[in-house]
Amino acid sequence: MTETATSLKKVLIGPILCSPHTIPQFVAEIRTLLADRALQPRTVACINAHVYNLAMQDPKLRQFLNGVRINTADGAAIVWAAQLCGGNIPERCNMTEAFRAFLENAAMPHTKAILVGSTDEECQAAARHISSMQKHCEIVATYSGFLDEAAYKNVFHQHCDADFILMGMSTPRTEYTAEWAASICPDAIVWVIGAGTIRIFAGTMIEAPVWMRRVGLQWLHRLFSDPRALWKRYIIGNPRFILHVLQARFARSTTKA
């Protein structure tokens, strides 16, 4: 019997909870949520080293990540960190790949979604690509990732009947906006697919080759693709993440002793 998210215990990495899902388990849980609107919470997100670093400095972001239904290990570094802290995450569940697996699953029921994030042009291009791939998830509206709080709340009130609210902006902007969406649209699955996912589907960002994703070097591909924008995230952020994890590991060892 295939294990789904409802029976998977989250792993604690320092003060942050992460879900140990494989992509098939994640997609199975999306189908479960679609079949039963009473299941709560209905927000799914992901975490990588960068998001972890931000969450360590932002209690509100940390609270959001710990309260969602699923918080997948989007980066290989999170899988490593979980193991170091005594947890078991069998493999990374990259959100772009998980979203693609959902779109390619012909067994999914017909649903309606809104897509929120990136620029208007990228969001619209991503929606066209998504529509060309499959028939079960209909993108009924797209919105820029640069609107203000009042505008987003108005958007969510307009689309309370949506099955999905697909979101991809910067962190923690996406996560804060996702909280508003979940509050206003409690029946919708609020899915943080990520800004990178929207840009990949829009064709404005090149996805890392499969081999780099499999060996945990997607970050290096992104760094080489846009070094000016991302050098701080990786050159400074990666050592900071390692320090956070080692501190969490030490704290765990001290507590056990």
- The CATH architecture annotation of domain 5-209+230-256 reads 3-Layer(aba) Sandwich (3.40)
Question: Measured in whole angstroms, how far is the alpha carbon of residue 154 from the centre of its chain?
Answer: 23
pLDDT value, residue 243: 96
pLDDT tens digits for range 183-200: 999 999 999 999 999 999
As a whole-number percent, the residues of the chain with pLDDT over 70 amount to: 96
Residue extents of the structural domains in the chain? 5-209+230-256
The whole-number pLDDT of residue 213 equals 85
What percent of the chain has pLDDT above 90?
83
User: Strands 164-168 and 137-143, how do they pair?
Assistant: unpaired
pLDDT tens per residue across span 74-89:
989 999 999 999 999 9
Structure tokens at 231: 């050098």
Query: What would the DSSP string read from start to end of 113-173?
Result: EEEEES-HHHHHHHHHHHHHH-SSEEEEEEE-TT--HHHHHHHHHHTTT-SEEEEE-STTH
At 27, list the tokens: 């997609």
CA distances from 31 to 4, 5, 62, 159 (A): 10, 11, 27, 20
Q: Specify the 3-state DSSP secondary structure of 251.
A: helix
Q: What angle do CA 40, 41, 45 make, to 5 degrees?
A: 150
Task: Please tell me the predicted confidence (pLDDT) of residue 5.
Answer: 46
Dist. CA 10–CA 47, nearest whole Å: 13
Q: Find out whether 162 and 113 touch, Cβ atoms under 8 Å.
A: yes
241: closest CA among 216, 207, 210? 216
Q: For the segment 106-156, what is each residue's pLDDT rounded down to a tens digit?
A: 999 999 999 999 999 999 999 999 999 999 999 999 999 999 999 999 999
At 60 the three-state DSSP class reads helix
What's the pLDDT at 208?
Answer: 87
Q: What is the pLDDT, as a whole number, of residue 211?
A: 85
Cβ(182)–Cβ(34) below 8 Å = no
Cα(148)–Cα(225) distance, integer angstroms: 29
pLDDT, tens only, 214-225 = 888 888 888 888
Which pLDDT score, from 0 to 100, does residue 219 have? Answer: 85
CA distance linking residue 110 with residue 139, whole number of Å: 11
On the question of pLDDT at 237 being above 80, the answer is yes
Helix (H) or strand (E) holding 3: none
pTM above 0.75, yes or no: yes
Q: What is the model's pLDDT at position 184? A: 98
175 class by beta-carbon count within 10 Å (0-12 exposed, 13-18 middle, 19+ buried): buried
Q: At what angle do helices 95-103 and 195-202 cross, to 10 degrees?
A: 50
At residue 2 the predicted structure's pLDDT band, cuts being 50, 70 and 90, is very low
